[in-house]
Amino acid sequence: MANDVCFRTMHLDDPASLKTYESLGGYKMWRKILKEKTPPAEIIDTLKTSALRGRGGAGFPVGLKWSFIRRDLPGQKYIICNSDEGEPGTCKDRLILRYNPHSVIEGMAIGGYVMNATVGYNYLRGEFTEPYEVMEKALVEAYAAGYLGKEVFGSDVDFDLYNHLGAGAYICGEETALMESLEGKKGFPRFKPPFPANFGVYGKPSNVNNTESYASVPLILEKGGDWFLELGKPNNGGVRVYSVSGHVNKPGNYELPLGTPFKDLLEIAGGVRNGHKLKAVIPGGTSMPILPADIIMETDMDFDSVQKAGSLLGTAAVVVMDETTCMVDALLNITGFYSEESCGQCTPCREGSGWVERLLHKIEHGQGTPEDLANLERVANNIAGRTICALGESVAWPVGSFIKHFREEFEYHVKHKKCMVAGA
Amino acid sequence: MTELLSKEVKAEIDRWLKKYPEDQKRSALLPALRFTQEANDNWLSEDLVKAVAEYLDQPHIAAFEVATFYHMYNLKPVGRYQLNVCGSISCKLCDCKGIVDHLKQKLDINVGDTTKDGKFTLKEVGCLAACVNAPMMQINKDYHENLTPERVDSILETLE
């Protein structure tokens, strides 16, 4: 079972076209739901059975999330797709948008039906010009075929879908920042509660899911919740697109069952480059804690197993580092990203991320003292849990985990003013 | 000041306005600034930012907040081609520094600078979501992946 859900068009000619999608049974479920007036609760139950958990990073159960919107309340509601892919290491949604756009459209339309929302927005990061053009073309096709618009297929269901473009800000991948951005503002995350299901974009009930989550929905409904669940593991249903990058021979996006052992995934990705030894892996995008080789080699790649191993599966962006990697330098790179992308709203994150980056810069460049190392840990610890959104943790977790597993490298840098890794 | 916006840019903004509720014109700010920038050699002057705000019936500050918050807006002139090399972890592990160093040497500029002839601006940017094809860079709208110094040379040769 590989590349058979969100990637199922990938190996075909003209993968993004409506014709290709329909040839695989695409939009069949959308037609069926509209024709049979499938009770929304039934669709939610199927999603709950499937154990589809959010593919954007947090892993929240999609069926449960869809049940939060009170569909019978009067007023406009919105379906939002988070295509603001930007967590370092993650590059799966870009492929889904480029090669299977109709699965996203169908998933969002079904969401609109279930939650009684007649308008959807697909928020793509501003740099995604090509995926945007593919999505726009797909929308034109979907409208022309009558899958979108008013009174779809003679039903009483309306669903209009629009693509929106960001303008370069990692923070807009945070769902409330995304909604602020969609409203034409700076991407400042909002306090929660109220949650988007009650107070979302334009203050209306809104459901935000990741691109891959929506794209998974049509096939789950077609083949059944149990089918999807059994592809993966209990509480970790289905397949997941793993973006394997870094020091491997065959980096790539691999859609494989949740629970695939890491060592198998590494083998599929061609093993560690140049016959080097594996040093460490970040299993879920750079905001997640790093795991050293001996732990990750014994870990299965599903939400619960990775959590048990001491990290989180996040976006399933698997960043592989071999023995030549300097951990101080790698952490400096990671925290530099979050320092740059901190929106500046919360003082602990805005100031703390800068302190962390500067302290690491000192240590990396041979000017660090033992006090700097202690301060690094102290500052990072003081960010976590003290910010509106999780970007604070995106600084704190890498710092904590890198030092926990590779403390001797940091101490070596401080003591010897140079790196203990040959060639780094 | 809206006369600073061309007919084409206004038409594009009008097209985008149809995507949002009628009382939510502010939603078109990001795309409006984008198209205005594209029509102005890829940068936004203060007057252009004000013009966009006025066209959307927003206070100037609303447009300035957006223009200064998001990375993709250039508030100073840039080269015809913006070479945005990804510097995040996957690209770093695959030696994006080698690509940046190569470009610095070849173009004789530092990161953040523009060549004297106004052709190239070199930048190092955060993750562009092409991590499995590292190292990579974006040149204006296009992604260029699996870069080597040789490949960078041949790409630059194709740019007028």
Res A422 pLDDT > 80: no
Domain B2-69 has CATH 1.10.10: yes
pLDDT of residue B86: 98
3-state secondary structure A202-249: HHCCEEEEEHHHHHHHHHHHHHCHHHHHHHCECCECCEEEEEEEECEC
Task: Indicate yes or no: CB of B62 within 8 angstroms of CB of A185.
Answer: yes
Token couple for A62: 């999609």
Enter the pTM of the model.
0.97
Res A423 pLDDT > 80: no
3-state secondary structure of B37: helix
Can B2-69 and B81-157 be said to share one CATH topology? no
Res A1 pLDDT > 70: no
Q: Under 8 Å CB-to-CB from B126, ≥6 apart: which residues?
A: A86, A88, A170, A337, A340, A341, B71, B86, B87, B88
pLDDT of residue A424: 52
pLDDT of residue A2: 73
CB nearest to A286's CB, from B89, B138, B141:
B89
Res B19 pLDDT > 60: yes
pLDDT in tens, B70-112: 999 999 999 999 999 999 999 999 999 999 999 999 999 999 9
Instruction: Specify the DSSP element, H or E, that contains A339.
Output: helix A327-341
pLDDT of residue A262: 98
pLDDT in tens, B47-71: 999 999 999 999 999 999 999 999 9
CB nearest to A169's CB, from B25, B70, B88:
B70
Contacts A186 to B, Cβ<8 Å: 65-66, 69
Token couple for B6: 């061309």
* Predicted-assembly ipTM surpassing the 0.90 threshold: yes
Q: Residues of chain B with pLDDT > 90: what percent?
A: 99
pLDDT in tens, A108-162: 999 999 999 999 999 999 999 999 999 999 999 999 999 999 999 999 999 999 9
**Mean pLDDT, residues A274-294:** 97
pLDDT of residue A3: 80
Q: Answer left, alpha or beta for residue A38, where phi above 0 means left and psi between -120 and 50 means alpha.
A: beta
Domain boundaries, chain B: 2-69, 81-157
pLDDT in tens, A342-363: 999 999 999 999 999 999 999 9
CA A171 to chain centre: 13
How does the average pLDDT of chain A come out, rounded?
97
Contacts B30 to A, Cβ<8 Å: 126, 164-167, 181, 184
Q: Which has the closest alpha carbon to A286: A381, A173, A395?
A: A395
Torsion of CA A159, A160, A164, A170, to 10 degrees: -10
Residue A266 burial (10 A CB sphere; 0-12, 13-18, 19+):
buried
**Mean pLDDT, residues A406-423:** 91
Token couple for A173: 């991948």
Amino acid in the structure at residue A72: D
Please give the Cα distance from B129 to A136 (Å, whole number). 20
pLDDT of residue A223: 97
In eight-state DSSP terms, residue A189 is P
| CATH number of the B81-157 domain | 3.40.30.10
CA atoms within 13 A on the CB side of A422: 1
Q: Which has the closest alpha carbon to A209: A45, A56, A46, A87?
A: A56
Task: Indicate yes or no: CB of A93 within 8 angstroms of CB of B129.
Answer: yes
**What are the strands of the beta sheet with A160-165, ordered from one edge?**
A160-165, A119-124, A78-83, A206-210
pLDDT of residue A178: 98
Residue A86 burial (10 A CB sphere; 0-12, 13-18, 19+):
buried
pLDDT in tens, A21-40: 999 999 999 999 999 999 99
Q: Under 8 Å CB-to-CB from B64, ≥6 apart: which residues?
A: B49, B53
**Mean pLDDT, residues A390-408:** 97
3-state secondary structure of A407: helix
Q: Which has the closest alpha carbon to A350: A376, A374, A378, A383?
A: A383
**Mean pLDDT, residues A395-410:** 97
Please give the Cα distance from A144 to A152 (Å, whole number). 11
Amino acid in the structure at residue A141: E
Q: Is A284 on the interface with B (CB under 8 A)?
A: no
3-state secondary structure of B101: helix
Contacts B25 to A, Cβ<8 Å: 184
**Mean pLDDT, residues A267-287:** 97
Task: Indicate yes or no: CB of B94 within 8 angstroms of CB of A246.
Answer: yes
Please give the Cα distance from A63 to A286 (Å, whole number). 27
pLDDT in tens, A297-339: 999 999 999 999 999 999 999 999 999 999 999 999 999 999 9
